[in-house]
């Protein structure tokens, strides 16, 4: 799907919808070279117009000022999941008939990680990015759910009681948002794992777009990830 020369997604017209909190920034996509493996970044409106099959996922995260092992600073906690198929990804799944991407995310958060969506939910303005794959006729939508650290901790503790724990979702984990001194462990090792669909691209775009990671640090981590071996 062509994105043309647009660099930032336009906000909805006044009176039609709430503006997006984080309009699509294609300069991040271009710098990180995220249009790979047949996926192309696009805004949600263009993605929905394709007629493709749609899935929607969410980055549940909380800003923090944490020191890992008393040495490595981490600006946020980002929750990811280990899927039933062994791939890494985020809470979410396929849209049911009649659902919007945001509605699907909220339903999947309840089912997969036991989120109380009467308290914590996403809406369309929380959309971060969509990736369309024309060859597969498949679209991956991605949303942001920002919480406090205490709120995220409570969700982590409750996740084991979810409907899909041990079935669709085998566990939750945190993304290491730092690169260790030897420049290969931490984020580079994490990025060397296998991700479902466009989950790796969604993670990297979201982390940079939300100010959690610097784009140059991501590029360094991606380069180091190519040389990750066994310890």
E-strand stretches of 111-227:
127-133, 138-146, 169-174
Lookup: tokens for 109 = 């958060």
Does residue 6 surpass a pLDDT of 90? Answer: no
Name the least confident of 64-68, 139-143, 200-204.
64-68
Domain that includes residue 152, residue range: 26-225
Please give the Cα distance from 194 to 200 (Å, whole number).
Answer: 8
Domain count, the chain: 1
Distances (CA, A) of 220 to 11, 31, 113, 178: 32, 12, 32, 11
The per-residue pLDDT for 146 is: 98
Asked whether residue 16 is assigned to any structural domain, the reply reads no
C-beta separation of 122 from 162 below 8 A: no
Per residue in 55-95, pLDDT (tens digit) is 999 999 999 988 888 888 899 999 999 999 999 999 999 99
Mean pLDDT for 20-39 is 96
The per-residue pLDDT for 190 is: 96
C-beta separation of 62 from 151 below 8 A: yes
Asked whether residue 200 is assigned to any structural domain, the reply reads yes
C-beta separation of 174 from 68 below 8 A: no
Work out the percent of the chain whose per-residue pLDDT is above 90. Answer: 79
The per-residue pLDDT for 83 is: 96
- Other CB atoms within a 10 A radius of the CB of residue 116 amount to 12
Asked whether residue 20 is assigned to any structural domain, the reply reads no
Asked whether residue 82 is assigned to any structural domain, the reply reads yes
64 φ, ψ (degrees, to nearest 5): -155, 180
Mean pLDDT for 146-162 is 96
C-beta separation of 43 from 9 below 8 A: yes
Per residue in 213-227, pLDDT (tens digit) is 999 999 999 999 988
Work out the percent of the chain whose per-residue pLDDT is above 70. Answer: 91
Asked whether residue 90 is assigned to any structural domain, the reply reads yes
Asked whether residue 177 is assigned to any structural domain, the reply reads yes
The per-residue pLDDT for 188 is: 95
Asked whether residue 8 is assigned to any structural domain, the reply reads no
Q: Tell me whether strands 53-68 and 127-133 are parallel, antiparallel or unpaired.
A: unpaired
Mean pLDDT for 151-170 is 94
Q: What's the mean pLDDT when you consider all of the chain?
A: 90
Rg (CA), the chain: 17
CATH number for the domain spanning 78: value is 3.90.79.10
Orientation angle between helical segments 199-209 and 215-225, nearest 10 degrees: 150
The per-residue pLDDT for 62 is: 98
Mean pLDDT for 31-48 is 94
Asked whether residue 15 is assigned to any structural domain, the reply reads no
C-beta separation of 62 from 146 below 8 A: yes
């Amino acid at each position: 799907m062509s994105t043309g020369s647009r660099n930032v997604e336009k906000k909805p017209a006044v009176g039609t919808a709430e503006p997006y909190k984080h309009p699509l920034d294609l300069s991040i996509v271009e710098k990180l070279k995220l249009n790979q493996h047949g996926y192309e970044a696009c805004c949600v409106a263009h993605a929905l117009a394709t007629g493709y099959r749609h899935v929607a996922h969410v980055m549940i995260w909380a800003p923090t000022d944490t020191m890992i092992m008393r040495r490595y600073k981490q600006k946020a906690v980002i929750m990811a999941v280990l899927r039933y198929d062994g791939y890494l990804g985020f809470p979410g799944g396929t849209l049911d008939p009649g659902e919007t991407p945001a509605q699907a995310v909220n339903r999947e958060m309840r089912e997969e990680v036991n989120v109380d969506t009467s308290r914590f939910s996403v809406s369309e303005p929380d959309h971060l990015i969509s990736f369309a794959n024309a060859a597969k006729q498949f679209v991956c939508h991605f949303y942001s759910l920002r919480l406090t650290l205490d709120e995220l901790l409570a969700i982590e503790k409750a996740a084991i009681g979810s409907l899909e724990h041990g079935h669709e979702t085998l566990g939750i984990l945190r993304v290491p948002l730092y690169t260790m001194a030897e420049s290969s462990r931490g984020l580079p090792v994490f990025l060397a794992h296998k991700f479902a669909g466009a989950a790796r691209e969604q993670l990297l775009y979201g982390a940079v777009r939300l100010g959690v990671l610097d784009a140059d640090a991501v590029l360094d981590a991606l380069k180091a990830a190519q040389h990750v071996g066994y310890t």
